[in-house]
Amino acid sequence: MVLRHLSRLQEQPVIGIPTGARLAFARWSPDSKRVAFCINDGAGFQLWLAGVDDAKANRVPLPSRLHAITGDPFQWLPDSQHFLCLTVPQRRGDPPVASVVPSGLIVQESLGRAVPARTYQDLLKNPHDEALFAYYLQSQMICVDLQGRVQELGEPALISYFETSPDGEYILVESLHPPFSYSVPANRFPKRVEIWNRTGRTIQTLADLPLQDQIPIAFGSAAMGPRAYSWRSDAPASLVWAEALDGGDAGRPAEWRDQVMMWEGPFTAPPRMISRLALRFERVDWGNDRIALVHEWWWQSRKKRAWKIVPADSTASAEVLWDRSWEDRYGDPGVPVLRSNASGHDVLQLFADGRSLFLFGEGASPDGDRPFFDTWELETGQTRRIFRSSGPIYEPPVAVLDVDGAKLLTRRESVDDPPNYFIRDVETDQVRQVTEFPHPNPQLKGLTKELLRYERADGVKITATLYLPPSYQNDQGPLPLLMWACSRVLTPQGR
């Protein structure tokens, strides 16, 4: 691991990391003074910490290994002094062993309702699979500070998702529980959604959802009941989720498909609806009390829409920002650029005056992808092109480095040059190289390719790509030897 300061381009190798360590899940602290990461030593994940000032890595002592089966095993709290971690329970014991004596028949019970079902692979098959699933998924949530002082939160559970509120006072926890199913994957198992406080006490049970084995198979269908819980990233503690208004059935005509609900802490007043959607809910990009973007989609028409809403005013009318087909790559306006706020949550990165947002796009064109950076004026919907990559260099923007979009962090590469990061001044069109990653395969540098066309004996026309070494000259030396294999269909006579 290496730290490189963008202002002075000084490189600091992080010391103290064991030789041969495998790193994962690197996360900056909200105050950007430290970076936390995991090391997999073969026996499990450990939590490590490195400071920006001294670039020295240290292991954070934990009572047991991190539990990373469901994803990121830790999160920073907004104070940059504590982590929430999922760990392997200390008293978990040995894995369950399959009995050599059958316990009886495997019985699956229906509810007497005929429902079309999809076919999945890698499902649970028997009670021993259930026992293994519960054994390995079980985790213990803890709160640990930078010195390794640990506080256990709640009891061990089959936690599938957790997220701290931006103010650090509440924790959204989703956990699975029996009965499990042999017909659908784990993301449809019964789920309990709760709000915990900092000590691990449950203050609200938001939902206890049953087994989701009757979701219609039409693309775009959704489960009944609340789903897609998350915290509003620009508020202290406001919970957001979606609910289906069409019975979750994408094959049934309906005027409204979903509604988006919000519930502000301390969760004493009733929740309120902030958006009603004619398509299926996708996500919300939060900015501030005056701006948020609600995204919706619909499979059958390949439609995507983005609405601008005013989170602080439920009576304000939503305005459509774009309404397009996701198959129209040439007309893709891009995706809003996000930044990390003081609590470590992602919010919209707005222009200095707050009246425009930034967009990054792939820039599909007849000449290939030409990534771009635009500003989008929220009131008028007008866009302004700030930067567009031009051939033969491929240069997608990565981050906006100031409030007026004058400086970008980009990644540049070409046919012969490996990807490296650059700081681009969009006003002067000057670039400054940040990294110097070497070519991973220098022996292939300068490789050329040719398209071969030939016709098989049965009349089928075939193309092949021939790669030639940099030193090859058409008028010098022997021609390359081409070899290929194809299958033969033998007749009864062996021909």
Give the pLDDT band (50/70/90) at residue 118.
Answer: confident
d(CA 353, CA 343): 22
Q: H or E segment at 226?
A: strand 226-231
The tens digit of pLDDT for each residue in 135-146 reads 999 999 999 999
Q: Mean pLDDT throughout 54-79?
A: 95
- In this predicted structure, the answer to whether residue 490 has a pLDDT above a threshold of 70 is no
Predicted pLDDT of residue 464: 87
- In this predicted structure, the answer to whether residue 93 has a pLDDT above a threshold of 70 is yes
| Nearest to 11, CA basis, from 20, 24, 1 | 1
pTM of the model: 0.88
Predicted pLDDT of residue 181: 92
Which DSSP symbol is given to 444?
Answer: G
Q: Report angle CA 117, 123, 126 to the nearest 5 degrees.
A: 115
Q: Report angle CA 290, 410, 440 to the nearest 5 degrees.
A: 140
Give the pLDDT band (50/70/90) at residue 43.
Answer: confident
The tens digit of pLDDT for each residue in 397-437 reads 999 999 999 999 999 999 889 999 999 999 999 999 999 99
Predicted pLDDT of residue 352: 87
| Nearest to 423, CA basis, from 3, 8, 1 | 8
CB distance 240 to 261 below 8 Å: yes
Instruction: Please name the amino acid found at residue 74.
Output: F
- In this predicted structure, the answer to whether residue 261 has a pLDDT above a threshold of 90 is yes
Peptide bond into 179 cis (omega under 30): yes
Second CATH level (architecture) for the domain 1-92+124-213: 7 Propeller (2.130)
Q: Where are the domains of the chain?
A: 1-92+124-213, 235-335
Predicted pLDDT of residue 10: 85
Q: Mean pLDDT throughout 391-396?
A: 93
| Nearest to 75, CA basis, from 27, 119, 21 | 27
- In this predicted structure, the answer to whether residue 117 has a pLDDT above a threshold of 90 is no
Give the pLDDT band (50/70/90) at residue 273.
Answer: very high
| Nearest to 145, CA basis, from 73, 237, 47 | 47
- In this predicted structure, the answer to whether residue 394 has a pLDDT above a threshold of 90 is yes
- In this predicted structure, the answer to whether residue 390 has a pLDDT above a threshold of 70 is yes
